[in-house]
Structure 1
Amino acid sequence: MKKIIVPVDFSEHSEFALKAAAKLAKKNDAKIYALHMLELSDAILTNTPESIHPEALFFLKLAEKKFNKFLDKDYLKDIKVTPIIKHFKVFSEVNDVAEKHDADLIVMGSHGVSGLKELFIGSNTERVVRNANIPVLVVKNDLNDVNFEDVAFACDFSEDTIAAYLNASKLFEKMGAKMYLVYVNLPNDRFKSSLEIERRVVNFFTKADRNLDRMKDVHYVSDYTVKNGILNFSMKMGADLIAVPTHGRKGLSHFFQGSVGEDVANHSTLPVMTFKI
């Protein structure tokens, strides 16, 4: 993990993300690319194609001044931080920046749930998660540390989640974290017997790892929703992080019907990391 992207909107939650990224950067000798998305209208941007419109230049200079002040933090000392200001209008384009700089991780702040309103849904954080080809770490609190020793990886053990599982295994191994896989068994038409689940898991590891060594790290839980099963299991095992595979633009896998990935990120007090399938 050598390059970390942190979208910044000057909010408290984006600073939570920046602090978490700083801790990760120090642990991994990584660089941080702090990204501010300046939303400018097409009229301002295209009025004078041959030069920057004066109004656009004003807002860019204003954002640059505010950005430099925001990045003047003690916890960023001794870390190489590159500020980037883009006049994108959609946060889905964060992935373009990540690909351009060959980044390994995006760290994003999120409000999560506030009363009955789920701010993550339809938010900038969700757009980043759905469009990112690299892992996205979603944080909602000021993390004391980023020593993710125990990770709960939600998995339905379908073949299309193998790539996400392998990417997560590789990353968490480098971080020195122990990954536990959890399958949530649901009632009614989605219920599976223990034998059916075990056959599915055996097929999964046979194709993913070509061995069954990780069978001992698999846990089956029963609950009324996948979200509750993941959260309850994570709390019971004392996890430091929840990891969730996602299809991105195509929606979530069959196991995560109903945008469970977003629900988990909304309701979890733990940080959540997503992996593209």
Structure 2
Amino acid sequence: MRKILVPVDFSEFSSYALEVAAHFAKSYKAEILVLHMIGLSEAYLTKSPSEEAAEAHYYMKLAKKHFDELLDKPFLKGIRVVEMVQNYKIFSEINALAIEKEVDLIVMGSHGKSGLGEFFVGSNTEKVVRTSEIPVLVIKKPHREYHPQLVVFACDFEIENLKAYQKATALFKEWQADVHLVYVNLPNEQFKSSQEIKDKIDFFLKVAHHNQLPSNQQLVVLSDYSIEAGIFSYAEELNANLIAVITHGRSGIAHFFKGSIGEAMANHANRPVITFKP
């Protein structure tokens, strides 16, 4: 891990994300790219050159002031930090920037469904998650010396998610984290018998690991009325310090995490959530 991107809006939640990013940066001797999105309006973009220059100077000066305050933290001592200001208005542009800069991890602060001021508002958190090809770690609370030791990894064991699964498990192994691979069986049209679930998991693991589950992983099959409820309840029971999910740009989180479930996992979990895209 060489580069970590932290999108910020200069709120306290930005500071939470920055502190977690700093912990990883120290561990990997990585640099942190701190990004602020101005998101200027079309009205601004159609002003005269002199008006544009004056307002651009104002916003850049304001951003510089906020950067000085945000980055004046003891936990950033000794870490290379690069400040970036971009006039982005759609969240897919963060993904393009992350790929261009060869970022390994995005760490972002989130308040939850009420959002972060004018930046991460409600579903905007999920927009970043949905469009990012880089793993996204969503932080809701302050964490000192954060290290993901116990991970609840929601998995549907679909072959199309194999690449994301392997990316995630490689990272968790690097972090020396214990992983609980959780399949949630639902009492609706997605319900499967025990044998159907076993066959599905066996086939997936045969392809992924030649039937040899890594020593840091264990399988868990549970039943609940929703994916969200099952994962959150199990993470609470274990006191896990990270929830992991696989994302799909077309339909939110995971093959079977449709609609509001995707937003719920990223926005509503009290614990850190990390997402991976196939």
Normalised TM-score (structure 2): 0.90
Counterpart in 1 of 2:78? Answer: 78
Counterpart in 2 of 1:259? Answer: 260
- Over the matched positions of the two proteins, sequence identity in percent amounts to 48
Counterpart in 1 of 2:98? Answer: 98
Change (3 A) 1:12 1:249: farther
Q: 1:43-64: per-residue Cα shift (whole Å, max 9, x none)?
A: 4335457996222222222222
Cα displacement (A) at 1:92: 2.6
Contact 2:16/2:143 (CA < 8 Å) preserved in 1? yes
* RMSD over equivalenced CA pairs, Å: 2.3
Cα displacement (A) at 1:171: 0.8
Cα displacement (A) at 1:8: 0.8
Q: Secondary structure at the match of 2:207?
A: helix
Cα displacement (A) at 1:158: 0.8
2:247 counterpart letter in structure 1: T
Counterpart in 2 of 1:246? Answer: 247
- Between 140-149 and 97-106, the greater mean CA deviation after superposition: 140-149
- Between 228-237 and 49-58, the greater mean CA deviation after superposition: 49-58
Change (3 A) 1:38 1:161: same
Counterpart in 1 of 2:238? Answer: 237
Contact 1:252/1:259 (CA < 8 Å) preserved in 2? no
Q: Secondary structure at the match of 1:84?
A: strand
Q: 1:142-188: per-residue Cα shift (whole Å, max 9, x none)?
A: 01332111111100111111111101011111111122100001113
Contact 2:182/2:231 (CA < 8 Å) preserved in 1? yes
Change (3 A) 1:64 1:188: same
1:273 counterpart letter in structure 2: I
Contact 2:186/2:225 (CA < 8 Å) preserved in 1? yes
- Between 238-247 and 122-131, the greater mean CA deviation after superposition: 122-131
Cα displacement (A) at 1:12: 1.1
Change (3 A) 1:102 1:62: same
- Provide the rounded CA distance (Å) in 2 between the counterparts of 1:180 and 1:120: 29
1:166 counterpart letter in structure 2: Q
Counterpart in 2 of 1:198? Answer: 198
Q: Secondary structure at the match of 1:190?
A: coil
Contact 1:44/1:53 (CA < 8 Å) preserved in 2? no
- Provide the rounded CA distance (Å) in 1 between the counterparts of 2:270 and 2:40: 34
1:207 and 2:207 equivalent?
A: yes
- Provide the rounded CA distance (Å) in 1 between the counterparts of 2:238 and 2:189: 28
- Provide the rounded CA distance (Å) in 2 between the counterparts of 1:175 and 1:48: 52
Counterpart in 1 of 2:184? Answer: 184
Contact 1:120/1:262 (CA < 8 Å) preserved in 2? no
Counterpart in 2 of 1:131? Answer: 131
Q: 1:21-71: per-residue Cα shift (whole Å, max 9, x none)?
A: 111111221110000011223343354579962222222222223222321
Change (3 A) 1:121 1:157: farther
Q: Secondary structure at the match of 1:211?
A: coil
- Provide the rounded CA distance (Å) in 2 between the counterparts of 1:262 and 1:250: 11
Q: 1:54-107: per-residue Cα shift (whole Å, max 9, x none)?
A: 222222222223222321211111110000011112233111221111000000
1:1-277 equivalence runs, <5 A: 1-47=1-47, 53-113=53-113, 122-214=122-214, 217-277=218-278
- Provide the rounded CA distance (Å) in 1 between the counterparts of 2:193 and 2:237: 23
How many residue pairs end up in the alignment?
273
Change (3 A) 1:258 1:58: closer
2:134 counterpart letter in structure 1: I
Q: Which runs of 5+ in 1 are unaligned?
A: none
Contact 1:241/1:273 (CA < 8 Å) preserved in 2? yes
1:151 counterpart letter in structure 2: V
- Provide the rounded CA distance (Å) in 2 between the counterparts of 1:39 and 1:88: 5
